[in-house]
Amino acid sequence: MRYGPALWTVLLAVLATVPAYGQEDDTPTFLWLSYRHQHKVGERARVFTSLGYEEQMSREDFWGEWNKLYVTGGASYDLGNRLRIAGGIGAYYSFLSDADDLLELRLWQEGTAFWPDSPGKVRRWVLTHRLRLEERFTESDTWAFMLRLRYRLDTKIPLNTYTLEPGSVYIPLAGELFADLSGESAGYFSEKNRLSVGLGYVLNQTWTVELGFHREGARTTGEEDFKVSSNVIDIRFKTSVRIRDLVKGR
């Protein structure tokens, strides 16, 4: 099989970046599982939805020390070949072992630019720039409101083919910054970041699977350095109508 050596080489490299579980007691490890679907409606519009489960991994409890279930949905519209606007809503419910369970309702709006994205050799190196604004309503004992801004830069690099197609093995890479706009330090610095690397495989015209690893960092003031706050093992299943929807997908 033409993609066999590349698949195993990159898979081992991804797994090698994941720190040994339990190596750092103060750095929790999370497991994310999700299913995401998008469907094109007309020439420029898309609708999408996702279902997910997240947990803080624990050797003592199968259910974990912290667990979250969520469902989201939304729609997007292409203003051109390189610009897309979108909006959506999500419901998230967290089960906490040492506090009251937490419900979150989240609204968001975003703009996405695809650049560079032109014919020729750079065609396989499409960069996605996403700027998202989130309104987060949380309820435990009382309701609270938070406003957050996120910027993400990501790309997908095919290994055994020129573009993404059935049988393609690819590397998803991403970096993301989070800024709280509702706190005392609103708008002055990023208080969280996330670096991501993974391995993806296009099963057929519809299905894609990804294994990813996220390294998250946090800080409380603009003068501090980022410190590792968590490690995440992320397994995603995606469906889309066309392969090129995956290249410029969610």
CA angle, residues 202, 204, 209, in degrees to nearest 5: 35
91, 145, 183 from 249: Cα distances, Å? 21, 29, 32
Instruction: Spell out the residues 6+ positions from residue 211 whose beta carbon is closer than 8 angstroms to its own.
Output: 11, 14, 198, 199, 200, 233, 234, 235
104, 123, 184 from 142: Cα distances, Å? 12, 50, 20
Tell me, what's the pLDDT at 240?
77
Q: What is the dihedral of CA 36, 152, 65, 136, to 10 degrees?
A: -90
- 238 close to 207: Cβ distance less than 8 angstroms: yes
Please compute Rg for the chain using Cα positions.
19
Tell me, what's the pLDDT at 120?
53
Q: What is the tens place of the pLDDT at every residue in 70-92?
A: 999 999 999 998 999 999 999 99
Question: CATH 1.20.1050: does it fit domain 4-247?
Answer: no
Tell me, what's the pLDDT at 131?
98
Mean pLDDT of the chain: 83
- 86 close to 78: Cβ distance less than 8 angstroms: no
Report which of 147, 79, 139 is spatially closest to residue 109, judged by C-alpha positions: 147
Lowest mean pLDDT among 85-94, 100-109, 142-151, 186-195: 186-195
C-alpha to C-alpha distance for 167 and 3, rounded to whole angstroms: 8
Whether 21 has a pLDDT exceeding 50, the answer reads no
Percentage, residues of the chain above pLDDT 90: 52
Tell me, what's the pLDDT at 225?
76
C-alpha to C-alpha distance for 145 and 182, rounded to whole angstroms: 8
- At 138, which amino acid appears? T
C-alpha to C-alpha distance for 227 and 163, rounded to whole angstroms: 36
C-alpha to C-alpha distance for 116 and 248, rounded to whole angstroms: 12
pTM for the model: 0.84
Tell me, what's the pLDDT at 106?
97
Beta bridge partners of 125: none
| Domain layout of the chain by residue ranges | 4-247
Q: Pick the more confident residue, 241 or 43.
A: 43
